[in-house]
Amino acid sequence: MKEKLRFLGLDVHAETIAVAIAEWDGEVRSLGTIPNRADSVRKLIQKLGPAEKLRVCYEAGPIGYVVYWQLAELGVKCDVVAPTLVPVKAGDRVKTDRRDAEKLARSHRSGDLTAVWVPDEGSEALRDLVRTREAAKQDQLRARHRLSKFLLRSGQRPPTGIRPWTRPYLIWAAQLRFTQMAQEATRLDYLHEVEHMRERVERLERAITEAVKLASPALQQVINGLQALRGIADISAVTIAAELGQVSRFDSARQLMGYCGAVPSEHSSGKRTRRGSITKTGNAHLRRIVVEAAWSYHRPPCIWYGLRKRQESISEEVKEIAWKAQHRLHKRYMRLAAAGKDKRKITTAVARELLGFIWAIGTRAETTVRQQIAA
């Protein structure tokens, strides 16, 4: 029964955890601060137990889900809550760790907190790897910009017909020589960094390929299914699947759109309805990769060699969804373009609808795996 439960609020930091408890009879009090160590957490639970009578919560943040997994091993039910959705009193100008922990305990008891989905360790590890590759791509772009802008300032232009960052371009940059020793040292360092970043990205992409082979059957099925969509190849599919974790946890495509932050903001009152730009309150990594994929839908629907190759091992049902996506999203792109809308707004609108097709394919893939396991 809820009235017999004890609710713990944890304000978790790198080295300390402020603890507060809300009793079933209404009392809320602070229990002080403990070190953020596994043995300290275990002693706290033993002191306040039994574990099945405890309900714990703390805010999601840079400390990740380590405390959640520690509590799960101890048999304690724990919720990791969204910090932006924790109720805040208007006019409250005092913030301390003790007060934050008490507020979490009180709000958890009243059911006013929104829990986030906690991935398992395998999903979390794959997501870390995918985000590492994304950071490496950003570093590669910076390294290329440094070299290209240096050559531009020095008056060096590649021969006509050589496209930037192709193999002939890198050979041309490697054969350049400067009379000034300082400029030559700069060129060599920038060129070495570009090569280093290329090798780093390739190394991480090989690691992603190997990690997918060790992933769960449901995740592998989702990754294969997503590659049937236009604009989503292997790395993009892995990124989307890793960021979503379990697609079926969303009850509808609209929930997924909200999680991605791709729905329009709204400020309406009475008879007035006012909608603004997208909220951008969701997963930025997922939103970025989906918007990139949406750019490809300005082209007419077609099945070219690369897409046909990706669809070889995919069911006819998923192929039909992907083909429907091409027609619907291209039609929407052309209709908005004919209305004179800005291309960025058009792409955002197409990306929002693309999330609906991602949800449809992902949920069907996970359902198919569950049925195969049950059979």
Please state the rounded mean pLDDT for residues 196-214.
96
Please state the rounded mean pLDDT for residues 296-305.
95
Provide the pLDDT for residue 2: 52
Neighbours of 182 (CB within 10 A): 8
Provide the pLDDT for residue 218: 92
The answer to whether residue 241 scores a pLDDT higher than 60 is yes
The answer to whether residue 323 scores a pLDDT higher than 70 is yes
The answer to whether residue 61 scores a pLDDT higher than 70 is yes
Provide the pLDDT for residue 199: 97
Provide the pLDDT for residue 90: 83
Distance CA 304, CA 326 (A): 13
Torsion, Cα 311 308 296 201, to 10 degrees, reads 70
- Residue 123, CA atoms < 13 Å, CB-side half-sphere: 19
Q: How confident is the model at residue 169 (pLDDT cuts 50, 70, 90)?
A: very high
Q: Which stretch of DSSP H or E encloses residue 59?
A: strand 54-59
In contact, 241 and 222? CB cutoff 8 Å: yes
Distance CA 259, CA 243 (A): 11
In contact, 332 and 350? CB cutoff 8 Å: yes
Going from the C-alpha of 188 to that of each of 146, 149, 150, 177, 184, the distances in angstroms are: 12, 14, 11, 10, 6
Query: Which CATH architecture fits 2-110?
Result: 2-Layer Sandwich (3.30)
Q: How confident is the model at residue 3 (pLDDT cuts 50, 70, 90)?
A: low
Please state the rounded mean pLDDT for residues 71-93.
91
Provide the pLDDT for residue 274: 84
Q: How confident is the model at residue 121 (pLDDT cuts 50, 70, 90)?
A: confident
Please state the rounded mean pLDDT for residues 316-330.
96
173-200 tens-digit pLDDT: 999 999 999 999 999 999 999 999 999 9
**Mean pLDDT of the chain, nearest integer:** 93
Has this prediction a pTM greater than 0.85? yes
Q: How confident is the model at residue 1 (pLDDT cuts 50, 70, 90)?
A: very low
All residues at 6 or more sequence positions from 175 whose CB lies less than 8 Å from its CB, including other chains:
none
Provide the pLDDT for residue 270: 83
Q: How far is CA 277 from the centre of its chain?
A: 20
Distance CA 293, CA 281 (A): 20
Residue found under tokens 């101890």 = 74
Considering only CA atoms, which of 282, 209, 208, 270 is closest in space to residue 244? 282
In contact, 178 and 155? CB cutoff 8 Å: no
Torsion, Cα 59 61 64 67, to 10 degrees, reads -30
% of residues, the chain, pLDDT over 90 = 83
